[in-house]
């Protein structure tokens, strides 16, 4: 079912849905960006249409809604432990096709990787409905088309933003909220067909340990500063580490948290005794690259990277991941389709 | 040749070592200007000067080799510069074709600021212009500079008033992954105001300079910027032949309005306490403060100033530097 709604009517629908759902979307926070007099665009809870920022790519991905940056797994007191309260309220997320495809990767990692599911992820994931922001033009550094992540059908609703709002509703649970608020039209979202950046993917059968030792990684050893921005803005980076905290005032109570970890950041491969596997920053770049466009596919049949380009947008040293993929492809040859 | 040197000095010209030749100083408040003004500077230098221009330490232009009798013509030629770089900024000057009406209060200089520099915590040129508007034309000898952050590229510590940008970092603990990038950097580069406690960061407010490095380094945006602008004001730094010294902090975490007010208040203090017998009636503000005392200066400077809740004022300033000749401070 597709509808055309005025912006006011759409806003009313959001307010209505807000009673049942927490609604997350990219928002612009004025003046709170990294540099002075700049804004940050990232995910936050919204209560109305005008709060949603659609003209700029969110600097951080929506993964933090499903996989919080830090998350308490349980509290403990002496011999007992307790899980944190579970918020029953359902969730709506406004996001683009690349990011919906990114969630598929997160699902793979947290739900389909071995016998046990990650219940903390699963509990959040089950509550989420996707409101897909139609994305026809993309942004600088996007290469979703090359990664086959420009299209998706996994959405509850698809939205074209404009003077009037066009909405395709797939999820029947949403129909009540929308119908009678607009007029029926024929609308299906269009997906971007070409990005400004194109990537040629490597023939992963040709990637060997020799590829790992190639000189191309030396350049990154010089350029990368191991800040981890690329990991943390990435929609599909899903590594985390455990933090056990004993409260200051009483050491016999505390909590276990998990927190995002990044393979570029110091400490990621630290072992007891001070050993670290990838002290060289070029090795870290290689490790990330190989996970995104080699071994994940060998295991799951599709690439991990969705080509959102946020890593390129954020790198303070102007390291381009899409260029890196192209370099690997130049080294080993292009994938055979 | 009959020249009233007092008059031409006030007009931003000077007596040079070459008899009969003068040099003109062009003010560039905030150190930033449209290139269209280069055409006028070039024309004046080629037609009346020696075809060269000196870039001054205060970010003005000095045009040497000018004949004294050409001053009125040159003043008419530079009217568009005075229009664009003074009147358009809100400075009031009665006779736009008469050149600069004062030269004692020097050009308000600025580092490149947040137009370009990632470290800068504010638009230094804009603030310099606002200060210019408040204090020009004025003949008292006061040097002011604005710098974006405590790196102090403009050398605010060498001024009578040095304005240093501050930012309040806001910590969102739930966004912090405990990578320690901010803590390590603060320890290495700044004051070590940050430390880890239970995988989260603690900031000691008293040790925090407000430089904003933690915000720049944070990969997850756990440190955010309070969009409110704050400033540190360092005072009475100087070079010179008696007692060169770096400026010391007078105020921290104050707003723009406070800065303008304390600087304008300072002119009242000068009129009250300047050495009436100073040679040529000139005395640098720093020496006046030395004689009158910091507490007297403070009283004048803070008159009618409403300080914000975060503001801090120095109780006492122990000015350092060194004296070329200590005996000059004794009288037989």
Subunit contact B199:A259, Cβ cutoff 8 A = yes
Q: Is the pLDDT at A85 greater than 80, yes or no?
A: yes
Out of A35, A42, A228, name the one closest to residue B221 (CB): A42
Residue A229: list chain B partners with CB under 8 A.
219
Strand B194-197 relative to strand A21-29: parallel, antiparallel, unpaired? unpaired
Instruction: Annotate B265-298 with b (16+ C-beta within 10 A) or e (fewer).
Output: bbbebbeebbeeeeeeeebbbbbbbbebebeebb
Residue range A216-235: average pLDDT? 97
Subunit contact A68:B174, Cβ cutoff 8 A = yes
* Shortest CA gap B194–chain A (Å): 18
Closest chain A residue to the Cα of B228, Cα to Cα? A31
For testing the chain B interface, which of A26, A30, A31, A36 should be mutated: the one with the most B CBs within 10 Å? A36
Out of B114, B173, B179, name the one closest to residue A37 (CB): B114
The answer to whether residue A195 sits within a structural domain is no
Q: Is the pLDDT at A337 greater than 80, yes or no?
A: no
Out of A68, A232, A267, name the one closest to residue B219 (CB): A232
The reported pLDDT for the residue numbered B126 is 98
Q: Is B224 on the interface with A (CB under 8 A)?
A: yes
Which pLDDT band holds residue A146 (cuts at 50, 70, 90)?
very high
Subunit contact A243:B165, Cβ cutoff 8 A = no
In chain A, % of residues over pLDDT 90 = 96
Residue B173: list chain A partners with CB under 8 A.
70
Same domain, A83 and A148: yes
> What is the distance between the alpha carbons of residues A265 and A279, in angstroms, rounded to a whole number?
10
Instruction: Annotate B126-156 with b (16+ C-beta within 10 A) or e (fewer).
Output: bbbbbbbbbbbbbebbbbbbbbbbbbbbbbb
Which residues partner with B230 through β-bridges? B166
Same domain, A49 and A144: yes
> What is the distance between the alpha carbons of residues B272 and A88, in angstroms, rounded to a whole number?
70
The reported pLDDT for the residue numbered B134 is 96
Which domain-ending residue is among A184, A213, A241? A184
The answer to whether residue A289 sits within a structural domain is yes
Same domain, A302 and A154: no
Closest chain A residue to the Cα of B227, Cα to Cα? A31
Same domain, A56 and A172: yes
Q: What is the mean pLDDT of chain A?
A: 96
| Phi, psi dihedral angles at B79 (to 5 degrees) | -50, -40
Which pLDDT band holds residue A233 (cuts at 50, 70, 90)?
very high
Same domain, A58 and A168: yes
* Shortest CA gap B61–chain A (Å): 30
Same domain, A42 and A166: yes
Q: What CA–CA distances, in Å, run from B154 to A125, B147, B169, B213?
A: 52, 6, 23, 18
In chain A, % of residues over pLDDT 70 = 100
Query: Are the C-beta atoms of residues B182 and B194 closer than 8 Å to each other?
Result: yes
* Shortest CA gap A267–chain B (Å): 8
Out of B167, B220, B225, name the one closest to residue A232 (CB): B220
Out of B174, B177, B217, name the one closest to residue A261 (CB): B177
> What is the distance between the alpha carbons of residues A154 and A134, in angstroms, rounded to a whole number?
13
Closest chain A residue to the Cα of B174, Cα to Cα? A70
The answer to whether residue A13 sits within a structural domain is yes
Closest chain A residue to the Cα of B175, Cα to Cα? A69
Same domain, A178 and A325: no
Which domain-ending residue is among A184, A219, A254? A184
Residue B224: list chain A partners with CB under 8 A.
29, 32, 40
Which residues partner with B281 through β-bridges? none
> What is the distance between the alpha carbons of residues A179 and A119, in angstroms, rounded to a whole number?
35
> What is the distance between the alpha carbons of residues B129 and B108, in angstroms, rounded to a whole number?
8
Same domain, A170 and A212: no
Which residues partner with B225 through β-bridges? B169
Closest chain A residue to the Cα of B171, Cα to Cα? A32
Which domain-ending residue is among A127, A154, A184? A184
Subunit contact B199:A33, Cβ cutoff 8 A = no
Subunit contact A30:B227, Cβ cutoff 8 A = yes
Out of A32, A59, A229, name the one closest to residue B224 (CB): A32
The answer to whether residue A189 sits within a structural domain is no
Same domain, A179 and A284: no
The reported pLDDT for the residue numbered A336 is 83
Residues of chain B with pLDDT under 70: none
Closest chain A residue to the Cα of B219, Cα to Cα? A229
Subunit contact A260:B178, Cβ cutoff 8 A = no
Subunit contact B227:A232, Cβ cutoff 8 A = no
Q: Is the bond preceding B137 in cis, omega lying within 30 degrees of 0?
A: yes
Same domain, A177 and A208: no
The answer to whether residue A198 sits within a structural domain is no
SS3 sequence, chain A?
A: CEEEEEHHHHHHHHHHHCCCEEEEEEEEECCCCCCCCCCEEEEEECCCHHHCCCCCCCCCCCHHHHCCCEEEEEEEECCEEECCCCCCCEEEEEECHHHHHHHHHHHHHHHCCCCCCCHHHHHHHCCEEEEEECCCCCCCCCCCCCCCCCCCCCCCEEEECCCEEEEEECCHHHHHHHCCCCEECCCCCCCCCCCCCCCCCECHHHCCHHHHCCCHHHHHHHHCCCCCHHHHHCCCCCCEEEEEEECCCCCCEEEEEEEECCCCCCCCCECCCCCECCCCHHHHHHHHHHHHHHHHHHHHCCCCCCCCCHHHHHCCCCCCHHHHHHHHHHHHCECCC
Q: Tell me, what's the ipTM? A: 0.94
Q: Is the pLDDT at A33 greater than 90, yes or no?
A: yes
The answer to whether residue A244 sits within a structural domain is yes
Subunit contact A34:B225, Cβ cutoff 8 A = yes
Full domain range(s) for residue A236: 204-332
SS3 sequence, B259-278?
A: HHHHHHHHHHHHHHHCCCCC
The answer to whether residue A192 sits within a structural domain is no
> What is the distance between the alpha carbons of residues A127 and B35, in angstroms, rounded to a whole number?
58
The answer to whether residue A197 sits within a structural domain is no
Q: Is the pLDDT at A17 greater than 90, yes or no?
A: yes
Same domain, A31 and A119: yes
Q: What CA–CA distances, in Å, run from B77 to A41, B24, B47, B93?
A: 48, 12, 11, 16
Same domain, A161 and A208: no
pLDDT digits over A300-312, tens only? 999 999 999 999 9
Domain count, chain A: 2
User: What would the two tokens of residue B178 be?
Assistant: 């405990």
pTM of the model: 0.94
The reported pLDDT for the residue numbered A231 is 98
Subunit contact B177:A229, Cβ cutoff 8 A = no
| Burial class of residue B224 (count of CB atoms within 10 Å of its CB; 0-12, 13-18, 19+) | buried
Residue A245: list chain B partners with CB under 8 A.
198-199
């Amino acid at each position: 079912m597709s509808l055309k709604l005025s912006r006011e009517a759409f806003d009313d629908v959001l307010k209505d849905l807000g009673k049942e759902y927490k609604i997350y979307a990219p928002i612009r926070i004025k003046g709170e960006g990294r540099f002075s007099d700049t804004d940050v665009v990232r995910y936050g809870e919204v209560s109305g249409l005008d709060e949603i920022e659609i003209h700029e790519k969110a600097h951080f991905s929506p993964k933090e809604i499903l996989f919080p940056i830090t998350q308490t797994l349980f509290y403990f007191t002496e011999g007992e432990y307790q899980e944190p309260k579970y918020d029953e309220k359902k969730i709506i997320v406004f996001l683009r096709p690349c990011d919906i495809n990114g969630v598929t990767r997160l699902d793979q990692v947290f739900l389909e990787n071995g016998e046990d599911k990650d219940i903390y992820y699963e509990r959040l994931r089950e509550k989420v409905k996707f409101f897909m922001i139609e994305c026809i033009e993309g942004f600088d550094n996007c290469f979703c088309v090359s990664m086959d992540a420009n299209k998706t059908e996994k959405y509850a609703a698809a939205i074209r933003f404009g003077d009037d709002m066009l909405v395709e509703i797939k999820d029947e649970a949403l129909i009540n909220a929308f119908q009678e608020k607009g007029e029926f039209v024929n609308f299906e979202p269009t997906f971007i067909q070409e990005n400004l950046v194109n990537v040629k993917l490597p023939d992963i059968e040709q990637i060997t340990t020799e590829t790992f030792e190639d000189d191309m990684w030396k350049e990154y050893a010089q350029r990368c500063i191991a800040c981890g921005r690329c990991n943390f803005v990435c929609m599909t980076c899903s590594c985390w580490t455990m933090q056990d905290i004993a409260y200051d005032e009483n050491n016999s109570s505390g909590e276990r948290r998990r927190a995002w970890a990044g393979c570029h950041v110091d400490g990621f491969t630290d072992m007891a005794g001070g050993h670290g596997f990838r002290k060289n920053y070029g090795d870290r770049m290689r490790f990330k690259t190989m996970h995104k466009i080699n071994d994940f596919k060998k295991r799951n049949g599709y690439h991990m990277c969705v080509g959102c380009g946020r890593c390129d947008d954020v790198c303070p040293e102007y390291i381009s991941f899409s260029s890196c993929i192209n370099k690997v492809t130049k080294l080993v040859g292009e994938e055979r389709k | 040749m009959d020249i009233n040197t007092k008059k031409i000095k006030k007009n931003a010209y000077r007596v040079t070592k070459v008899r009969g030749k003068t040099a003109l100083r062009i003010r560039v408040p905030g150190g930033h200007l449209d290139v269209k003004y280069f055409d006028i500077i070039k024309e004046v230098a080629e037609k009346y000067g020696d075809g060269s221009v000196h870039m001054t330490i205060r970010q003005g232009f000095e045009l040497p080799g000018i004949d004294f009798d050409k001053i009125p013509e040159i003043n008419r030629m530079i009217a568009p510069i005075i229009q664009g770089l003074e009147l358009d900024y809100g400075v009031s000057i009665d006779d736009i074709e008469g050149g600069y009406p004062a030269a004692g209060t020097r050009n308000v200089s600025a580092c490149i600021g947040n137009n370009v520099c990632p470290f800068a915590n504010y638009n230094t040129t804009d603030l310099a212009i606002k200060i210019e508007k408040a204090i020009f034309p004025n003949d008292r000898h006061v040097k002011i500079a604005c710098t974006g952050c405590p790196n102090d590229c403009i050398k605010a510590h060498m001024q009578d008033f040095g304005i240093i940008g501050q930012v309040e970092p806001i910590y969102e603990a739930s966004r912090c992954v405990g990578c320690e990038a901010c803590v390590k950097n603060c320890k290495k580069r700044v004051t070590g105001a940050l430390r880890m406690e239970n995988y989260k960061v603690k900031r000691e407010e008293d040790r925090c300079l407000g430089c904003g490095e933690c915000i720049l380094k944070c990969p997850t945006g756990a440190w955010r910027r309070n969009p409110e602008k704050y400033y540190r004001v360092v005072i009475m730094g100087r070079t010179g032949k008696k007692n060169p010294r770096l400026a010391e902090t007078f105020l921290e975490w104050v707003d723009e309005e406070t800065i303008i007010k304390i600087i304008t208040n300072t002119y009242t203090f000068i009129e009250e306490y300047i050495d009436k017998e100073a040679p040529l009636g000139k005395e640098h503000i720093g020496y006046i403060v030395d004689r009158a005392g910091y507490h007297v200066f403070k009283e004048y400077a803070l008159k009618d100033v409403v300080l914000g809740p975060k503001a801090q004022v120095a109780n006492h300033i122990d000015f350092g530097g060194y004296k070329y000749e200590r005996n000059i401070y004794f009288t037989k």
